[in-house]
Amino acid sequence: MTDQFSLAATITGADSPGLLNRLMAAIAELDAEVLDLEQTVVRGRLSIGVLLVVAPEASDAVEDRLAGVCARLGLALTLTEGVGDNPPRHNRAVVTVLGRPLLASHLAITTDVITALGGNVDRSRRLSRTPLTTVELWVSNAEPAALRPALASVAAGAGFDVSVAPAGLARQGRRLIVMDVDSTLIRDEVIDLLAEQAGCAAEVRAVTERAMLGELDFADSLRARVALLAGLPASALDEVRAAVRFTPGARTLVTTLRDLALSIGVVSGGFIEVVAPLAAELGIRYAHGNRLEVVDDRLTGQIAGQIVDRAAKAAKLREWAALEGLPLSRTIAIGDGANDLDMLAAAGLGIAFNAKPAVRASADTSLNLPYLDAVLFLLGLTREEVEDAAAAREVAPAASGVTRPAAPGWMGR
């Protein structure tokens, strides 16, 4: 191919069906080799970039035919000769930027960091528009390990969310997603609901807040809060199970992850008596939490067995990953409090969801939006793909018998 050269064509204009077909058909008989092709449509405006290799004697004919088709279709054509093939792209990463709204300044800040670290944005696409805008940037020549902390810092200061993940096979295939429960999978703190039943809500809530902020040792604070529940009828657990509210988008997240055949677990510093039924209802395979001691159908104010603290949560992540035959690099952890820090650090991707400041500062990425299903965008799914999956489930619903109404996420807006 030493006697051939490359030709880069950029075509822009109003979109209509069949444009790419007409362009390729015009040069089909000239033996032009396609090295690269990208096409995007933004609000009806088309942009096509195609990189061709042509023989010298065919180059004029290729140019003339492309120009003729573009003239007839009202498209603008720019041709550049001798540009060569695309160079190899190393240290590739996917940077996902989320905003409500997403501002030009947010993207300027993001790309400024990427450029400063030697990276280049090779391509981009929009994943969602409402109720938040999500844009995915494919970046080369920048280490994800360096991008993550740099982007997290500027995003927190500017009021948008950003995630960094390795590109390529590392982003595809089987994964394990492990979530916290209280204030993550569900909107409530279960111990606070139990405290309302026991008439000690104010006392328990004050200790809970201090523990979530990391000001108190979790195990000691949990024992102190549970002690206040002594004497509460065990039937109160049934009432609390009926009262808890899923976080908006929780059911959409879980059902879509199941559609993708990904493994899911929930691990909680709360109580398995509530966590296990919720996990079963959603079809979540793994569930772990503290167990309340019950004697004569009343809570004793004690925890039965080992307390699920931050170390225990991380241990469960590792245990479940081993059971699934997955390395930790293929795990995702989602949580909001100090009790989730070890789990978030151990996972391949740790997501702080509406988290306390200390958790946001240490996690790989943070989501500060009320919709748990926004996690799906970090996996590279578009809103349209998630909606299509939901529509398919409505046509052929799973025989799960679930009747509990789902909390609406962005799917319901």
The residues that are catalytic are 180, 182
CA distance 218 to 395: 46
From CA 98, how far away is CA 89, in angstroms rounded?
Answer: 25
Could you give the CA distance from residue 265 to residue 401 in angstroms, rounded to a whole number?
21
Query: Distance between CA atoms of 237 and 204, rounded to whole angstroms?
Result: 16
Provide the CA 218 distance to its chain's centre, in angstroms: 28
CA–CA separation, 339 and 288 (whole Å)? 14
Cα-Cα-Cα-Cα dihedral sign, residues 399, 403, 407, 413: positive
Instruction: Provide the CB-side half-sphere exposure for 364 (13 A, CA).
Output: 24
Region for 148 from its dihedrals, namely left if φ exceeds 0, alpha if ψ lies in -120 to 50, beta otherwise: alpha
Detail the DSSP E strand segments found in 274-403.
286-295, 298-304, 331-335, 349-353, 365-367
Those residues with Cβ within 8 angstroms of residue 48's Cβ, 6 or more apart along the chain or in another chain: 9, 10, 11, 12, 19, 20, 23, 37, 38, 39
Distance CA 209, CA 41 (A): 48
Q: How many CA atoms lie within 13 A of 380 on its CB side?
A: 16
> How many other CB atoms sit within 10 Å of the CB of residue 147?
22
3-state SS, residue 196: helix
